[in-house]
Amino acid sequence: MEGDKKSSPVSDVGAWAMNIISSVGIIMANKQLMSANGYAFSFATTLTGFHFAVTALVGLVSNATGYSSSKHVPLWELFWFSIVANMSITGMNFSLMLNSVGFYQISKLSMIPVVCVMEWILHNKHYSKEVKTAVVVVVIGVGVCTVTDVKVNLKGFLCACIAVLSTSLQQITIGSLQKKYSIGSFELLSKTAPIQALSLLLLGPFIDYYLSDKSLLNYKMSSGALLFILLSCTLAVFCNVSQYLCIGRFSAVSFQVLGHMKTVCVLTLGWLLFDSELTLKNISGMILAVVGMVIYSWAVEVEKQSGVKTNINVKHSLTEEEIRLLKDGMESKPVKDIELGETKG
């Protein structure tokens, strides 16, 4: 997992494919697990705690068997990240409960510009006109095919703001921690997963009781529900790993933009598998979103190429003043014999 930075196009595509497949799969599994027509396991926060517990267990086994190494990351940074990540999960759950589906989708779409602004504030990162245009096209496209009724209330709005800010900060922090400590995606996930699992399993039942007015202790577990919980946890491991892989290889903005491909996939699979209605509005929105993603990929590639050219020009060009200073330095300092370390002349 050390080689996240030196990634090939094939491994990049593999990381995206793993993320999309596992994310869509977990949505389908949770739909069956949590819906009233399925097993009615309406404890989303606790379920997320199970997800991180299994992920932490996989990380522990991986470290014990030598498959992955463990690099040092300060404990306070891991706690800080876990708090932000848990605020993201809880905020999303409350936002979905208190807001209409339409406003919930709008809040999710707003993460792209929020991530852009936060990266500009925190890392002084700038984006080209082409990238900004592509982001707008993607947001409009996904908005057209997902946003329906929009109802806003004060509590829901505040929860949505917390969810968007914490989720955006979480995704930026994943990338910055990996770069700061030269740590692989899976190694970082192995360090944060136990903290998130412990906190979510302790607080999750209380949060879920507030959200659904149902107690986990009163839930009658069946073999079918247990099977889908295990399936959901297995898919969550791949989903969590691929998220860290993708953000480590690309950026939080790219993860958000291309991540909307999952929305398109979910809508398409819902139409194919569950006979969901697919209107002309949905289709036109999906086409616009895909076009935006293609433009975004092209714009990012153009930005990379221009950045490489700039670095080459900076590296190989010196000003007249710099050349003069170098010459003066060579003339004023005595030359040393490299082999003997003696001063000549």
- Domain spans in the chain, listed from the N-terminal domain onward: 12-132+150-259
Greater confidence (3 vs 38) lies with: 38
Residues 6+ apart with CB under 8 A from 23: 239, 242, 259, 262
Query: What sign does the dihedral 150-155-158-164 (CA atoms) show?
Result: negative
Looking at residue 162, its amino acid is I
Greater confidence (311 vs 171) lies with: 171
Residues 6+ apart with CB under 8 A from 65: none
For tokens 């799969």, what's the residue? 25
How confident is residue 316, by pLDDT bands cut at 50, 70 and 90? very low
How confident is residue 234, by pLDDT bands cut at 50, 70 and 90? very high
Report yes or no: 43 and 204 within 8 Å, Cβ to Cβ.
yes
Token code pair at residue 206: 């209380």
- What pLDDT sits at residue 269? 67
149-201 per-position pLDDT tens digit: 666 678 888 888 898 899 889 888 888 888 888 888 788 888 999 999 999 99
Mean pLDDT across 287-316: 62
The CA distances from residue 236 to 55, 182, 231, in Å, are 8, 24, 8
For tokens 């906190």, what's the residue? 199
In three-state secondary structure terms, 343 is strand
The CA distances from residue 64 to 54, 58, 68, 178, 183, in Å, are 15, 10, 8, 21, 17
User: pTM for the complete prediction?
Assistant: 0.69
Residues 6+ apart with CB under 8 A from 277: 271
Residues 6+ apart with CB under 8 A from 310: none
- What pLDDT sits at residue 149? 61
Mean pLDDT across 121-137: 77
Smallest CA-to-CA distance from 27 within 298, 241, 273 is with 273
How confident is residue 235, by pLDDT bands cut at 50, 70 and 90? very high
How confident is residue 301, by pLDDT bands cut at 50, 70 and 90? low
Greater confidence (165 vs 100) lies with: 165
Q: How many CB atoms lie within 10 A of CB 180?
A: 11
For tokens 């990929």, what's the residue? 297
How confident is residue 121, by pLDDT bands cut at 50, 70 and 90? confident
Q: Does the structure show a pLDDT above 90 at 228?
A: yes
Could you give phi then psi for residue 149, rounded to 5 degrees?
-75, 140
Greater confidence (319 vs 145) lies with: 145
Query: Which of 196-210, 240-254, 299-313 bottoms out in mean pLDDT, i.e. has the lowest?
Result: 299-313
How confident is residue 310, by pLDDT bands cut at 50, 70 and 90? very low
The CA distances from residue 60 to 66, 86, 119, 231, 232, in Å, are 10, 21, 32, 20, 20
**Mean pLDDT, the chain, whole residue set:** 76
- What pLDDT sits at residue 134? 74
Token code pair at residue 13: 């595509």
β-pair partners for 343 = 336
Query: Which of 124-138, 201-215, 325-339 bottoms out in mean pLDDT, i.e. has the lowest?
Result: 325-339
Smallest CA-to-CA distance from 166 within 101, 247, 89, 228 is with 89
- What pLDDT sits at residue 34? 84
Token code pair at residue 314: 């900076």
For tokens 């370390």, what's the residue? 341
Could you give phi then psi for residue 339, rounded to 5 degrees?
-70, -45
26-81 per-position pLDDT tens digit: 878 888 898 888 898 989 899 999 999 999 999 888 888 877 677 788 889 999 99
- What pLDDT sits at residue 101? 66
b/e map 261-276, b = 16+ CB within 10 Å: bbbbbbbbebeeeeee
C-alpha to C-alpha distance for 207 and 42, rounded to whole angstroms: 11
**pLDDT more than 70, % of the chain:** 70
**Residue 204, Cβ density class (10 Å: 0-12 exposed, 13-18 middle, ≥19 buried):** buried
Q: Does the structure show a pLDDT above 90 at 229?
A: yes
Smallest CA-to-CA distance from 87 within 188, 207, 237, 210 is with 207
Q: How many CB atoms lie within 10 A of CB 170?
A: 22
138-160 per-position pLDDT tens digit: 777 767 766 666 666 788 888 88
Mean pLDDT across 227-250: 86
